[in-house]
Structure 1
Amino acid sequence: MQDGNDLGRRMGKGVHFGFKVCTLSASPPSFPALPQPTSRAGGNPSTFDQRHDHRQPSNQNDRMDKYSYVYMLASTRYGTLYIGVTSDLVKRVWQHRHGVVEGFTKQHKIHRLVWYETHGDIMEAIKREKRLKKWERAWKVKMISTSNPTWRDLYEDFTP
C-alpha cells in the first residue's frame, strides 16, 4: 500500500497535503539552502516533553541530510493560525504565500511564517504537529510570542 508521500516522490511533482498528492503547475524560485539545524521552538512547560529536545535532530551522531519541519503560519499578529509539517520549509511556505494549493491558508489568507522547529525524523515531526494541533490557542500564541515577540515573518530570513 502506498501513501501520498511515496507516490509524490516517485512522480517527482507531488506535494504532501493531508494524505493527497496534488500536482502543482507553479514551482517556487530557488532560494539558498535553509541553515541546519534551526529552531524557533518553545512551548507550554506543562506539556512540552523535556526528555526529548524537539529543536535538534534526534541523534546528533547520525545526522541525516534530510530534515523535517513543524511550522506555524498566521494571517496577522494574533490572527488565524495554521500548523503544518514539511520536509522543505522554504518551498512549502512559498506555496502557501502564492496560493498554489487550494485550502485553508489560501481561503483565510494565512501567509506569515511565525514559528518553526526542526526534526531529524519525519515521524517525530508528524507526532509533534498532531500534538500542537490539540493545544489550546492560548498556548500556541504564547509559544509564538516567546520565540518571536513581534510575530515577524521568518520567511524573509530565507529569501534574497
Structure 2
Amino acid sequence: MPAKGGYVYIITNKHKTVLYTGVTSNLYARIHEHKEGLGSAWASKYKCKYLVYFEFHDHIETAIKREKQIKKWKREYKENLINEFNKDWMDLFDQVEDMQ
C-alpha cells in the first residue's frame, strides 16, 4: 500500500490574534470542517477558520513531525513562516478548493 501524503496548515481568527497549527491528509475537507465550526474544539472556541499557511509532505508521518516542530515555535517564528508564504494573510481556502 503506498504511503499517503499530508498537509501541515495554520489557521487564524478574524482579527489574526490566534494561530492554530494542524495536520491532515485532506486539506480541503479539514478546512471546510473548521469553517463550519466542526474542527478541533480549541480552534472552534477561538473561531479559527481562515487558512493562512499550508505545506504538503509526501508522507503523513513527515507532516506530523513538521506539525509538532511548528507547534513548539514562538509566535514570531510562525508569523515569519506565514509572511514568507502569504504576506497579506489572505484566506487561502479558495486556492485549496481549486486543488480539488
Q: TM-score range by the shorter chain?
A: 0.7 to 0.9
Give the Cα–Cα distance (whole angstroms) in 2 for the partners of residues 101 and 79 of structure 1.
Answer: 18
Equivalent pairs, count: 97
| Overall identity of the aligned pairs, in % | 37
Partner of 1:137: 75
Q: CA, structure 1 residues 96+153, in 2 after alignment: closer, same or farther (shift >3 Å)?
A: same
Deviations 1:79-115 (A, max 9, x none): 2000000000000000011012450111110000000
Give the Cα–Cα distance (whole angstroms) in 1 for the partners of residues 16 and 96 of structure 2.
Answer: 23
Give the Cα–Cα distance (whole angstroms) in 1 for the partners of residues 58 and 37 of structure 2.
Answer: 28
Matched, 1:87 2:22: no
Matches within 5 A, 1:72-111: 72-76=10-14, 78-101=16-39, 103-111=41-49
Give the Cα–Cα distance (whole angstroms) in 1 for the partners of residues 20 and 59 of structure 2.
Answer: 21
Instruction: Please give the secondary structure, in 2, of the residue aligned with 1:70.
Output: strand
Matched, 1:151 2:68: no
Q: 5+ residue gaps in structure 1?
A: 1-63
Give the Cα–Cα distance (whole angstroms) in 2 for the partners of residues 145 and 78 of structure 1.
Answer: 13
The answer to which of 96-105 and 129-138 deviates more is: 96-105
Query: Normalising by the residue count of structure 2, what TM-score does the alignment of the two structures yield?
Result: 0.88
Instruction: Please give the secondary structure, in 1, of the residue aligned with 2:97.
Output: coil
Matches within 5 A, 1:110-125: 110-125=48-63
Q: 2:20 is aligned with what amino acid?
A: Y
Hey, which of these two has a bigger chunk of helix by percent? 2
Q: Answer 1 or 2: higher relative contact order, Cα 8 Å, separation at least 6.
A: 2
Give the Cα–Cα distance (whole angstroms) in 2 for the partners of residues 126 and 140 of structure 1.
Answer: 16
Query: Normalising by the residue count of structure 1, what TM-score does the alignment of the two structures yield?
Result: 0.56
Give the Cα–Cα distance (whole angstroms) in 1 for the partners of residues 39 and 6 of structure 2.
Answer: 20
Deviations 1:7-55 (A, max 9, x none): xxxxxxxxxxxxxxxxxxxxxxxxxxxxxxxxxxxxxxxxxxxxxxxxx
